[in-house]
Structure 1
């Protein structure tokens, strides 16, 4: 065989291999796109009562999501996504549980799951004073400039960033615990459920704190993960999971197939997927933001609470703080996706922020350990930017150099729960503020908070 023919054959084989590789990559990417879209549509249609077209126009209009076709089936309360007829994915809605992607387990197996959920308290919250209910006082606390504050919120509602609208759907402002201002985009109000995305991480941390207070978990002890026994991961502590310093080899990247997209949109057991990952770093030495850590914590909570797991968040946290709207969504294994999937009203997110503002206390009951909030806002030594605590982001601690803070015009003691697209609960103890902003895209939050602060004399 001539040398020329050998070169041609090698080139041909390389082309075939590259074609197969890229075809596989594209198929995996399409599957994730379809799964994400199906999940978003299913939650939006059945929890938010929005039309499919509205969801497509607002959340799924960008590349590559606009390539897919999304269909809702009212007969079985589901939504599917498919791109060019390939890699069809399905999400199913179950009452009180929201949407769950069909992954690993069959749809029949998932629908056969039994959840022990508590009944929502039968109360007319419009007749109960804030914060336990929705009845607001007729007057504002002293020190508020209502006209200026209203103008700030209105401007944020119509805001843009880099020339594109950010679609703020809700803003709620608490001052000294009182609800002093709120605004909603057209089609939304105080009763509208909205996604929190990674705000779920902060909720997962609060549930962990409750179990610590009950003596069922110890943040300083090795995390109770069965798969890690007698492995190099067995010394990972619960605190390292909370502080995102577990050392697990995980990539939080949603722009391509990654650990994050595989865990949330391909796997039916998010915690099991994350737990089997190898170590990339010695635990406690490197900060690496990871939804995988949060979902491992969620499964730890499940195992610590046993048969009462699915009721636990509602009975121990939500219903005690008047958060009657909130829905935590489970994966196909039945574990709440503690990193990412929760829906609630803006007021209920504000109530969650108020719990932390009040040092974990509500109605004279200490729900979280006395020192939990103080510990929450302490970064680990491994966090070189000093910007993360127990599943909450921090503004930084350089009081003499605001330029080193995440938000330079906001006090250093500010900390916040932060979700994809700008779902945020800001807690600013020194200014006696809790601010909730929910939208579709990130905005200039530094300016928003600066302007809100300036409206309070």
Structure 2
């Protein structure tokens, strides 16, 4: 019977290969699909269940929005060990494991760095936000507006789960839906890149890193990659060849879902063009930045301890988990899970010139550089892992002040900062299509 089932599944995969080939997908897509499917499946299901606390059903419903092929996954969840195993037609099987304080990662038997780390629990506080979780200045009109926007979004199928506004340093309103609340750590996807840039800015503040220097990777020392500066990496103008199309076999999916070390994968990418000349959006670049953070501090335990002491605790993070890959490096491109209030703390840091809760994390000079348009010839409205409103011929968000900038992520995650308004807006959700950021956020600004 088992042999018969296996033959049926193998036959189904052969049919899928034939269909993919007919549609013009390259061999790499076809051969990589099972491993990518089990990688994304085990990782996202594990984090959704054990970091965000969503039900197994909601976690799976979110997952399959990425591809109907993921509906073919066989999923097994051990609620006690907090391990998720996925299998794709019996061809590929992967597990992802949860570790308190570190979240989830795909398991690779030869990599034990995560398991060896000593972690620290987050400390909750009853102090006034942003130091603690007490909120004292809610505005009824803003609260009603946010609730109506969330209701409108979700009636249109946008799956907004958190919407929060901070003005003049105080939370004015917050609305939640679809199982999320004020303490739910929500996946920001590429919003993590913006925190990664802050982490390097903190190293600069402390005299541990020169952002105008070149990384000293052995693989780069004797070729054109030795000319890449950290600032080139921060502005995604490093010149490395990297594809961010998210098909199986693509650089991004290979790195995220089938590689034990995201930085090793990207460091090995070939040189494509002169650094600083051309913008190329690359999650791999953000993971090189995380590797620099790890190397400067001396290893996984040191980088974890430093992050807790100099980033997470000063920010006042209460419900945030920055996940690592199997090699023990922060997954700087993608995997920060944080409550809307915690994401807003990062935004408030930027509004307040680099200091929060009595601690300076980055300098105002660093913020000025991080939010200035770059000098590339194809996308100037991007800073140090921050999306800028200004820089191109037209504003990115036409009805929002020119000085606005944002951390953005897949599924339309957005944390927008408007310095001229002393304003932070956080929107988190699971939107497959486009989200009306310009319309909704300008509506909020008008109401202030």
TM (normalized to structure 1)?
Answer: 0.87
1:260 aligns with 2:248: no
Q: What is the match of residue 11 of structure 1?
A: none
Listed as ranges, the matches of 1:395-414 within 5 Å are: 395-397=389-391, 404-414=394-404
TM-superposed deviation, 1:454: 1.1
Deviations 1:255-286 (A, max 9, x none): 34200001111110110110011111111111
> Matched residues in 2 for 1:392 and 1:66: separation?
34
Moved more, 222-231 or 235-244: 222-231
Q: Tell me: CA distance 1:70–1:242, structure 2 relative to 1, closer, same or farther (3 Å).
A: same
Listed as ranges, the matches of 1:193-232 within 5 Å are: 193-232=185-224
| RMSD over equivalenced CA pairs, Å | 2.2
Q: Do the aligned residues in 2 keep the contact of 1:158 with 1:167 (CA within 8 Å)?
A: no
Listed as ranges, the matches of 1:91-106 within 5 Å are: 91-102=96-107, 105-106=108-109
TM-superposed deviation, 1:230: 1.7
Q: What is the match of residue 147 of structure 2?
A: 154
Q: What is the match of residue 83 of structure 2?
A: 78
Q: Tell me: CA distance 1:255–1:444, structure 2 relative to 1, closer, same or farther (3 Å).
A: farther
Q: Do the aligned residues in 1 keep the contact of 2:240 with 2:273 (CA within 8 Å)?
A: yes
Q: What is the match of residue 118 of structure 2?
A: 116
1:321 aligns with 2:320: no
Q: Tell me: CA distance 1:22–1:226, structure 2 relative to 1, closer, same or farther (3 Å).
A: closer
Deviations 1:110-156 (A, max 9, x none): 377411334534x5x2x31121111122x45xxx6x32x33431232
Moved more, 21-30 or 311-320: 21-30
Q: Do the aligned residues in 2 keep the contact of 1:377 with 1:394 (CA within 8 Å)?
A: yes
Q: What is the match of residue 127 of structure 2?
A: 128
> Matched residues in 2 for 1:263 and 1:277: separation?
11
1:345 aligns with 2:339: yes
Q: Do the aligned residues in 1 keep the contact of 2:122 with 2:318 (CA within 8 Å)?
A: yes
> Structure 1 segments of 4 or more deviating over 4 A?
21-24
TM-superposed deviation, 1:160: 4.3
Deviations 1:355-378 (A, max 9, x none): 011111123432102301111111
Give the one of 405, 423, 432 matched to 1:415: 405
1:393 aligns with 2:387: yes
Q: Tell me: CA distance 1:22–1:239, structure 2 relative to 1, closer, same or farther (3 Å).
A: closer
TM (normalized to structure 2)?
Answer: 0.89
Q: What is the match of residue 357 of structure 2?
A: 363
Deviations 1:204-244 (A, max 9, x none): 10000000111111111112323211221011000000000
Q: Do the aligned residues in 2 keep the contact of 1:248 with 1:278 (CA within 8 Å)?
A: yes
Structure label with greater radius of gyration: 1
Q: What is the match of residue 242 of structure 1?
A: 234
Q: What is the match of residue 12 of structure 1?
A: none
TM-superposed deviation, 1:397: 4.2
Deviations 1:266-319 (A, max 9, x none): 110110110011111111111001111110110110011115111111110111
> Matched residues in 2 for 1:396 and 1:112: separation?
40
Listed as ranges, the gaps of 5+ residues in structure 2 are 1-17
TM-superposed deviation, 1:75: 4.6
Question: Secondary structure of 1:80's match?
Answer: strand
Q: What is the match of residue 10 of structure 1?
A: none
Listed as ranges, the gaps of 5+ residues in structure 1 are 1-14
> Matched residues in 2 for 1:24 and 1:301: separation?
32
Question: Secondary structure of 2:304's match?
Answer: coil
Q: Do the aligned residues in 2 keep the contact of 1:397 with 1:413 (CA within 8 Å)?
A: no
